[in-house]
Amino acid sequence: MFGLKVIGLSLLLSPALALAGTKPVSCDLGPAKEPRVAEISRAGKIEDTYVYSLRQGKAAKATLWGGESDDSRGFEVKVKCVGDRQRALAVMGDFMSTGYPRGLVLVYDTGRRAYERFDFAERNAGLVVPGG
C-alpha cells in the first residue's frame, strides 16, 4: 500500500497533471485488461478557484468532498497518477473547506472489487523534514 506522506510529497515535488480548461484528468487504477478509470474534473470558475468533482468508474460524478459545492472549491490543485504495479490517483490542493492543503488518494482493490479512498489534510504540507 502507498504511504500518504510519500504520495503527498510526490505531488509537491514532481510535476503533476494540470487540469486544462474543463477537460478531466483520468487515471486507470485497474489491473491489466480490467480498466477502472477514475476522473477528476473542474467547473464553476470564480477568480482562481474551481469546484472539483470525482467520477469513479461508471458512477455519477460527485463533488470531491461531498456536501456543498463550495466545500470542493479549490485552487492550486494538483492531480497525479502514481505507482507502477498498483496505481493510485492522488489529489492535493487548497480547498475552501479547510485552511490548509487537503487531499485524497484513490486506489482500486481487486480483491474486494471496490475503490478505496483515503482522505488527508496536512497543515505543514510544504514542510519537508529529513528522515521524517
Averaged pLDDT score across all residues of the chain:
81
Residue at 24: amino acid letter: P
pLDDT band at 126 (very low <50, low <70, confident <90, very high): low
pLDDT band at 99 (very low <50, low <70, confident <90, very high): confident
Task: From 24, 34, 96, select the one nearest 65 (Cα to Cα).
Answer: 96
Contact 107, 119 (CB under 8 A): no
Q: 123 or 31: which carries more pLDDT confidence?
A: 31
> According to the model, what pLDDT value does residue 123 have?
73
> According to the model, what pLDDT value does residue 127 have?
44
Residue at 82: amino acid letter: V
| Cα–Cα dist 82/87, whole Å | 6
What's the predicted TM-score (pTM) here? Answer: 0.78
Q: Please tell me what DSSP assigns to residue 17.
A: B
Q: What torsion do the CA atoms of 51, 8, 18, 58 make, to the nearest 10 degrees?
A: -60
Q: 10 or 87: which carries more pLDDT confidence?
A: 87
28-76 tens-digit pLDDT? 998 878 889 999 999 999 999 999 999 999 999 999 998 888 899 999 9
| Cα–Cα dist 72/95, whole Å | 6
| Cα–Cα dist 50/43, whole Å | 6
